[in-house]
Amino acid sequence: MYAPRDVKRPIVPVRLDLDSTICFHCDKELACFTKCCHNNSTFLTPYDIIRLKRRFAMASDEFLVTYTAPGKIEASDLPVPMIRLLEDKGNACPFLGEGGCTVYEDRPVSCRYYPVAAGLFHNFDISDNENFFALIKEGHCLGHDLGQEMTIAEWRQDQGIPPYDEFNKGWVELILRRKSLGPFVEIPEKTLEMFFMACYNMDAFRRFVLYSNFLKIYRVSEDRLRQVKDNDEALLNLGYDWLMTTLFGAGRLELIEQVVEADQVELD
């Protein structure tokens, strides 16, 4: 996307692909340094939360309460955690320190992509793995046309993005499935709670898997069960399979019994 500096007008999207090139460099010496860390609306993906809650050695529910506010994914009823800005510090990101980002090694994927926007929901087609990107040129940002020229593919590697996209792939598929139902299909509150727990509240979902009737209803191999007990990424993938099976009938998890009463598995 492109908007000339100091000109207030709508940003016009310019489509890019993995072979398109950009020049961008962020530096503490630039007058705009950390301006993008104020007054933004940053949603957190499932893998963002895993990385950040692990960094702070916090339970996922504690992290969500402390650092996020509720939001919704555009054109859907699906919930998404947004970074809770600090009003008393000029609507700054809570992870911003005097020297810049204090969680840089575990920063969210949207921050890693910047100044590139990835069209995850509108322009990513699961069937042909098409990727859509756009360049964001905000009026305050002075980092454009600086640094080494890179393709979008090289930028993704340089910013450590591939594992984020890999572990968020199932989440994107769920969102696209929901959007394919159209805006007039109402999503029950319990379904929204299921989606939020399995995608964002890993510790609650682990308790749900281990201590509810989950394992009496869904067949989970011993090897997979060992992994989900200790590994959040493995648990996240189980959550995707559960949601695809339960919400969309995709059959990602095998039912132990053919007929299961709807109230046999209760959310805590």
Instruction: Output Rg (C-alpha) for the chain, integer angstroms.
Output: 20
pLDDT tens, residue by residue, 241-258:
999 999 999 999 999 965
Examine the pLDDT at 122 and tell me if it is beyond 80: no
Question: How high is the pLDDT of residue 136?
Answer: 87
Rounded CA gap, 156 and 151, in Å? 9
pLDDT of the residue at 124 = 44
Q: Do the bridges between strand 218-219 and strand 15-16 make them parallel or antiparallel, or are there none, so unpaired? A: unpaired
Q: Give pLDDT, residue 155.
A: 96
Instruction: Dump pLDDT digits (tens) for 83-92.
Output: 999 999 999 9
- Domains of the chain, by residue range, sit at 15-167, 188-268
Query: SS3 string of 117-138?
Result: EECCCCCCECCCCECCEEECCC
pTM attached to this predicted model: 0.88
